[in-house]
Amino acid sequence: MAVTDSATTFLDFDDDEYDEMTTPEEVLRKMTATWQNELCAPCLLPTQMELVEILLDQIQGMEENIGKQTDKMQLRISVHRVELQRIGFITSDYVRCRLQKIESNPHDAIDQHKKRKEEGKSDLLSESEMKFAEEYALAESNLFQKTVLEFMPAALKKMPVPRGDHDDVMVYAKVTSDDVGNVAIPDWQDLNGEVILEMEPESCHLIPFESVHQLVEDGNIQLM
Amino acid sequence: MIIEDNFRQEFYNKIKKGDKSVVLIVSVDTDALCTTMILTHLLRCDDIPFSILAVEGWSSVEKIFADSQEQKCHYILINCGATRSLTRLQIPPASIAFVIDSHRPFHIENVYENGQIHLLANPSEMSELQIPDLESVIREDSDDEEDSDEDEDQEYISYEQRMEKIRRKAIKREEMQIWERQRRTILWRYYESTWFSSPSCVTLLEMAAEMNRVSAETMWFTAVGLNSAMADKLISIEMYTQICVDRMRPFVHRFMPKNIVNQGKVDDLLHITFGRELPLALYSHWDLFSAMMVSEYFSIKTKNWTQKGDVNIRHLLAQLGITLHETKQKFEALPTEQRNLVVDVLEKEMDSSFATFFGTLGYCGKLSACDVARAVTLRLEMPKSETIMNRFRSGQSILRSSITGERQDRLNLNNTFTSICQRTLQVSWKTVAAAINQSEIIPNGPYYLFSCSRSIDEDMVDSRHFLYNTAGFMIRAFASMKKGRTTKPLIAMFPLTGESAGWLVVTGVMPIATIYEDSLLKTCIGRAFERVKKMTPPLRIVDDYFNSDIIRLKSEDRTRFIDFLQTVFEGTSN
Amino acid sequence: MNAERCEFIAGNSLIEVIPSISDDRPIHLISGDIGPFEAGVPCRIPVWTAILMKRKHNCKVVAPQWMDVDELKKILTSETESQGLAKLPDHFFEISHMLVRDAREDIFEVEAVKSLVQDIYDRRDAKLRSSAIEFLRQNQTCHAQLDNVQLIEASSARATLEACRQMGAVVRNKHESTPL
């Protein structure tokens, strides 16, 4: 009863982003980092749903493999099971965290997503997240309409969309790449000026999120 | 069928490999709880899902079986199920039962039912079991019936042939009758007395050891389970000591503090030591005076239920050189040296060879397995108003709290010691004292009868621990008052109150003379009750308990029961 | 991020165990292969696997080198001497916590280890606290370099930081708004 784990077979993805051969191990490592960033970032980061999907495929494949095993009580089976549970936890916690962020301000999420599209950057929301955001926004405005806005004078019958207020949020960040170069942070002594910081590899900083936002998206900095 | 050894292969691996769901049917006693703790630890290690059903009587087992006729299960019956035929209890046909039960003797149908029922027995007790041969107790009685049918059909056979047939039939019938008679005697002898084998948890610990999965916790559970059998008077001190020496010794050394390289430093690990202990219940969580007051040994020695009792006890203390001051304060509050001194004196006085296990954890005080066993037992058995599963869980949490350092857990345990355990001992003593002072024990032909006139908490009356201890204490106290009271058994009746008002709980103990003789503490009281139940006109008796020597009897049938029992006992002695 | 998630992430770090079972086929996990196991021969596996096997009585955990009373004393001294945070092995606190909880028997002098780790944590926490106060009371810069800060320390400080930020916002609002 040989165990043929699908994890050993290398995956080949259609996505352009993953045109080179990637091992599930790497995907998982990337997922973990993404999850950690998402948890620590004050706003939504660009979606990495592809990673989630790949891992879900992996889980399914592995579950089928386990299902084929006759002796279900071996150590290896339970190690596999626990690993699947761990991966399941990361992916669902990642999705959960993002949904919470969307729920806290669905309109803003949609606006940001569209803005990024126009600028030609990577997607902020995945398709299903976008759908969720729209539905949530609609439901929310319906609720407000029925309960409050109806009874308001005409001039106030509009829901303002609050903008996410992340400009001055400080985050802990660790430099993970070798050549991050310099980062500009606002200078509190001169409101128009900037201070340039050198980001040494492996160094840790308490720093305004906006200054490192791009670096986080590029994967050069890990939030803590 | 009986599995004698290699439980790992024959029992555990079968559950492990099987595709059936695992259901533990657990009797509510401490040994069963400890066994369950060990077994579930093993099952968890192997990721085997299981469910636990706590049961308190045969009817609940029957109900479980009735509710799951369609299902395929591996039933593991712990401390229940061996003494009645599981086939007759309608065990679901597609299920398999493993019975880990310390009640003896096994029901013969369970022994010879080959595929479905597996009884776990210790190889050392096989000679003790004296199981009758298959041929002598079970026979397929279908073939002669067929014969007779053929006879009717074949009308053309000659007269001689017919005579021949008739004669053969007569012989067969006679053989049958002889066999039947023999069978009855054999079974009579086989079922005559009931007793308890070594606690189930010891068997399970050995199995865990075979799998290399013994931890200090499992060892501690076993120690508590073993001591509970002792505290409930299920096994004799000889048997207890023998189990400690023969079967527990390999484990004792493993969790001794000095074996772990840790030069005298206190760590947070659970350590278990084995050492001498006073057979004086709960004294380390009480003051000596109160503990001695209710202890069987000192109470009988000083006859402290009489008016002179108090003087006697002071006299004894003076003799031993123990001051009243020492005995009246909390034992734990005495300085260590003084404590050791007092214990030494008392040990000599009691001439005891009792030794037990002690658990130590960090800076928490030392706990004796014997005291913990009492606490767990009482938590399991009371209060009856709680559902059985809740009692099972609170027993479990008390057992666990004896090995966690959590403050709340310790408080909970101490609370159990000081409230329930001490009270039970006191009620037990008071019952005995009242019985003797008010001459409530009356000789009734071949036995002594005690009918309790005071009302005692229903909770206690329904507890096996209380019943066995009180009855055992009582017969000894009674015998100590006058010579020649050692040859008759004592039957004790306690009225129930509350919901079950109108019923009596009846139990009995064997004559002291036989108790001293027999290290297995065999009793035929259960058998006598069974026979009374079969007599006509039938009495309203409920024998749902797993212990056949505890039954419930409708109060109105009391007088007739007493008479019937007399007939039964006279019948046996003749 | 909270302490449990930190521990979860720390569970991926490798640790040495001495298996008590043998299995000549490696286990191909999604996160990489582990094994093969040979009874008595040490091998490195993720902490979560080690704890799983430990619970099944399948191995003994070899405490990391730094989890030794003398080593920890050294770390404590260097922590006391250095101005900033000293360098610690990755996931120092999380791994200590997991092993003390789940593999207590395998750690030598576990109580001493426990209190030393606690001391180290306290010392670092005190530094972080005073630097946080220092940072929050100034208005010169919005950046602080905190080399060697551990994930769990950053996580536990975040709540305070966020509270301070919101407090700041409230105060600012009060100053900016004109009373009616």
Mean pLDDT of B50-59: 94
**Of C92, C13, C4, nearest in space to C45 by CA:** C13
Q: Mean pLDDT for chain B?
A: 88
CB contact under 8 A, B16 and A78: no
* pLDDT score for B153: 52
Instruction: Catalogue the E-assigned strands of B88-157.
Output: 96-100, 103-104, 117-120
**Of B87, B91, B70, nearest in space to B25 by CA:** B91
Q: Report pLDDT digits (tens) over C112-126.
A: 899 999 999 999 999
Q: Model confidence at A16, in pLDDT bands (50, 70, 90)?
A: very low
Domain ranges in chain C are 3-177
* pLDDT at residue C106 tops 50: yes
* pLDDT at residue C8 tops 80: yes
* pLDDT at residue A3 tops 80: no
Q: Report pLDDT digits (tens) over B313-358.
A: 889 999 988 888 888 889 988 898 988 899 899 999 998 889 999 9
Q: Report pLDDT digits (tens) over B221-259.
A: 999 999 999 999 999 999 999 999 999 988 888 887 764
Q: Report pLDDT digits (tens) over A79-135.
A: 999 999 999 999 999 999 999 999 998 988 999 999 999 998 888 999 999 999 999
Chains that touch A (3 or more CB pairs under 8 A): B, C
- Our measurement of the distance from residue B326's CA atom to the centroid of its chain's CA atoms, rounded to an integer in Å, reads 36
* pLDDT at residue B574 tops 60: no
Q: pTM for the full model?
A: 0.84
Burial class (CB in 10 A: 0-12, 13-18, 19+), A53: middle
* pLDDT score for A14: 45
CB contact under 8 A, B269 and C20: no
Residues 107-126 on C with a CB inside 8 Å of A are: none
CB contact under 8 A, C145 and A32: no
User: Percent of chain A scored above 90 by pLDDT?
Assistant: 40
Which chain C residues have a beta carbon less than 8 Å from that of B45?
55-57
**Residue C19 is encoded by which pair of tokens?**
């298996």
Q: Mean pLDDT for chain A?
A: 84
Domain ranges in chain B are 2-122, 135-191, 439-573
**Of B539, B565, B563, B564, nearest in space to B552 by CA:** B539
* pLDDT at residue B467 tops 80: yes
Facing residue for A36 by CB, picked from C9, C27, C146? C9
Do B270 and B216 touch, CB atoms closer than 8 A?
A: yes
The hierarchical CATH code for the domain B2-122 is: 3.90.1640.30
* pLDDT score for C180: 61
* pLDDT score for A177: 86
* pLDDT score for A87: 94
Contacts of C14 (CB under 8 A, 6+ apart): C44, C45, C46, C47
CA-based torsion, B422, B424, B425, B426: positive or negative: positive
**Of B571, B306, B566, B300, nearest in space to B448 by CA:** B566
Min distance A156 CA to chain C CA atoms (Å): 20
Q: Report pLDDT digits (tens) over C143-156.
A: 888 889 999 999 98
Interface of A with C (CB under 8 A): 2-3, 5, 7-8, 24-25, 28, 32, 36, 39-40, 55, 58, 62, 75-76, 78-80, 82-83, 86-87, 89, 93, 168-170, 172, 185-189, 195, 197, 202-208, 224
Q: Model confidence at C179, in pLDDT bands (50, 70, 90)?
A: low
Facing residue for C20 by CB, picked from B44, B212, B215? B212
**Residue A51 is encoded by which pair of tokens?**
């990673």
The label of the residue with tokens 């009271």 reads B485
Q: Model confidence at A12, in pLDDT bands (50, 70, 90)?
A: very low
Higher-confidence position of B365 and B109? B109
Min distance B268 CA to chain C CA atoms (Å): 7
The CA–CA distances, whole Å, from C75 to C79, C83, C96, C112, C120 equal 6, 14, 14, 14, 8
CB contact under 8 A, A81 and B47: yes
One fold for B2-122 and B439-573: no
In CATH terms, A24-156 corresponds, of 3.40.50.300, 1.20.58.1030, 3.90.1820.10, 2.60.40.1840, to 1.20.58.1030
Min distance B213 CA to chain C CA atoms (Å): 6
* pLDDT score for B443: 92
**Residue B281 is encoded by which pair of tokens?**
């219940």
d(CA B281, CA B267): 29
**Residue B267 is encoded by which pair of tokens?**
């760590």
Domain ranges in chain A are 24-156, 170-223
Q: Report pLDDT digits (tens) over C132-143.
A: 888 888 888 888
CATH fold of A170-223 reads Ribosomal Protein L9; domain 1 (3.40.5)
Lowest model confidence (mean pLDDT) among A10-14, A73-77, B36-40, B335-339: A10-14
d(CA C180, CA C178): 6
Burial class (CB in 10 A: 0-12, 13-18, 19+), C166: exposed
* pLDDT score for B520: 86
* pLDDT score for A1: 38
Q: Mean pLDDT for chain C?
A: 90
DSSP B254-309: GG-GGGSS-TT---SSEEEEEEE--S-TTGGGSBHHHHHHH-HHHHHHHTTTSTTH
In CATH terms, C3-177 corresponds, of 3.40.5.50, 3.40.50.360, 3.40.50.800, 3.40.640.10, to 3.40.5.50
The hierarchical CATH code for the domain B439-573 is: 3.10.310
User: Percent of chain B scored above 70 by pLDDT?
Assistant: 95
Question: Using alpha carbons only, how large is chain C's radius of gyration in Å?
Answer: 21
